[in-house]
Structure 1
């Protein structure tokens, strides 16, 4: 095996899960046996009925939940042999309602990377499709958002979550229903920007929608009747 656990902190690891199952309580299986091969840059959309295990799969990949059975490896190393925080530092997670802090736009992005420069932040916003929005802000990166500050729309919030993931520099991005509450046109536009901005990163997106998948390499349905383990 090349490298070692410390090498992952700056690398772009190859993720594999093989026949992984998982349970939140131990009383039932919340993720059926699933196999995924995720080399660097692979984009996969996970769909399925409610309760089919979509969010549980993301929790396993993010190391918020350990598998009940099967194997999860990074470049051939079993994740159980790696420090949890070392794995999590590789992964940016974006949910359906990214939190907006009552602070400046700059601070809202730098929470993902405290050392990010204004150039880094501006680039991430541009890649997330927010360059026009940024230009229109009266105070630019110093604009205060959240409570007592400037309000943002659902689409802007979703793009802000994406920009935060981009500025983090993390090679793996997990998205849990990132456009769940948006109309079709807005969702399509955001997902197009997402896939365009993450060509060199591994992306796994959970979605209950049936649109916006044109930029993804694979679509996997976890609904039992369709589940083929990847």
Structure 2
């Protein structure tokens, strides 16, 4: 019960890592506000968790939407102790097929959304010396071919995490990010594009257990650790859960 009585916001909570993280925090006593673009999905997730969870529509690329979920958490629970920025999108393909609309949307969700949510939450986190856990990627630490905009966005999350961790260090705010390899979520379940050099792609896979992907629960465990008092001296880290992907 590391989070009993704590107020926690989780973005991207309708499925995948966000949903697994919501279940993990709920099992440890947290009071949750869950946001996702998939309104039906996030409302269903909140209902399944029970009275300790509120679900609402959220577009992290929209400043007003980000402020709305912050306000909801403060109204419902009196403040915010932890912000988990997990919402994200993947855009896999060759650069010449990547138009500016696709580029802008991926950067807006994966990077600008982290900035908007963190900026809106910070006045409330400062009151309680709270903390932020961002979802980056192993692709935020190394290059991954045919993932140029995703890689750029996740490198940005790593850099933003480190910069803000230093900026708010004297005020006791901890800000960390997690860098997973492939995770068995709906985001990677679609058919890959054609004309991809798979020999290059397969250089960017985990090594542990023959290249098995992580499960969402593996990542949720790490989110909970970094958000907990057990990690009270940890800030500014980009924590890989990548089966050795970035060790090669």
TM-score by length of 2: 0.31
TM-score by length of 1: 0.33
Q: Identify, as 1 or 2, the structure richer in helix.
A: 2
> Larger relative contact order (C-alpha < 8 A, sep ≥ 6)?
1
